[in-house]
Amino acid sequence: MNIHKETSIKIDFANGEEYTPTLVLDGEEVKSGYAITFSNKTHQIEELLNYITECENEGFEVFI
């Protein structure tokens, strides 16, 4: 994720946007157990950004 995307996510998240990242591994969408919806009512922005970073480090492509 680049700095522009991260900044956009931070702004939208603060304004109430909810995110459910889509994970793709080897061209296939991963559905089991990875679908988490992040909302500013239940999560901190750092949790969303850490989740994205951890998934990317594990080899997933993450789509917001």
User: Two tokens at 57?
Assistant: 């480090």
pLDDT tens-digit readout, 4-63 = 999 999 999 999 999 999 999 999 998 866 678 999 999 999 999 999 999 999 999 999
- pLDDT attached to residue 34: 62
Q: Which domain holds residue 32?
A: 3-63
- pLDDT attached to residue 15: 97
* Torsion from C-alpha of 51, 54, 59, 60, nearest 10 degrees: 0
Phi, then psi, of 8 in degrees rounded to 5: -60, -45
- pLDDT attached to residue 45: 96
- pLDDT attached to residue 37: 94
Q: Could you give the maximum distance between any two Cα atoms of the chain, in Å?
A: 33
Q: Please count the structural domains in the chain.
A: 1
